[in-house]
Amino acid sequence: DQQVKQNSPSLSVQEGRISILNCDYTNSMFDYFLWYKKYPAEGPTFLISISSIKDKNEDGRFTVFLNKSAKHLSLHIVPSQPGDSAVYFCAASASQGGSEKLVFGKGTKLTVNP
Amino acid sequence: DAGVTQSPTHLIKTRGQHVTLRCSPISGHKSVSWYQQVLGQGPQFIFQYYEKEERGRGNFPDRFSARQFPNYSSELNVNALLLGDSALYLCASSRYSGTGAAEAFFGQGTRLTVV
């Protein structure tokens, strides 16, 4: 039973265009969401997060949108750069659980073509 | 400042053996979590330790255990290794205060191969 789903295994975009990565979740107890980027042979790198009390958070070229009613979040990268090519993971946690357990999706491999 | 450091980076073990993986958190971080990542999947939560106490445990067998030391570093131990334990083991640290979530920062991982 996957509680966090990234239904697109891969995404290819042109340099300079927008990349939109999507994530859906099923557990209504999740109240904190994070995006990580992972290069081969490295650990995941934290990108951006959002609390469930917000619907948008922006940090430079990265913006995360949260639609609680649809249990959906997305990561927008504008403009996309070749160095953004990596696997992107969506993760969620439930603060009421008392632990910092992160539940991850399977990831989306983004390729930005020059 | 140093990030999360894990050792060793690669390890090959035989079925039935025991393994210990080590993690040093970012300075000032008191929470350490362990994750297992198999090929094609996202990281899966194993344990969280905060202030040397277990705060969370994932759905892993009792062969998996962990502890946190007074300097907040941590060890993950796996007994009676199975072929299916082959994976990338990730350690993450955070400023988790005991309430609410916080951004977790990951190390580069330990690649464990069981043969």
Q: For the segment B85-111, what is each residue's pLDDT rounded down to a tens digit? A: 999 999 999 987 666 667 899 999 999
pLDDT at A62: 98
Q: Which two three-digit tokens encode residue B25?
A: 């958190």
Tell me how far apart the alpha carbons of residues A62 and A75 are, in angstroms, rounded to a whole number.
7
pLDDT at B83: 97
Q: Which of A8, A30, A32, A102 to mutate to test the interface with B (most CBs of B within 10 A)?
A: A102
Q: Which of B32, B37, B94 to mutate to test the interface with A (most CBs of A within 10 A)?
A: B37
**Who among A45, A49, A107 is closest to B42 (CB)?**
A107
Tell me how far apart the alpha carbons of residues A81 and B5 are, in angstroms, rounded to a whole number.
28
Reported as a single tens digit per residue, the pLDDT across B63-84 is 999 999 999 999 999 999 999 9
User: What is the phi/psi pair of residue A111, to 5°?
Assistant: -120, 120
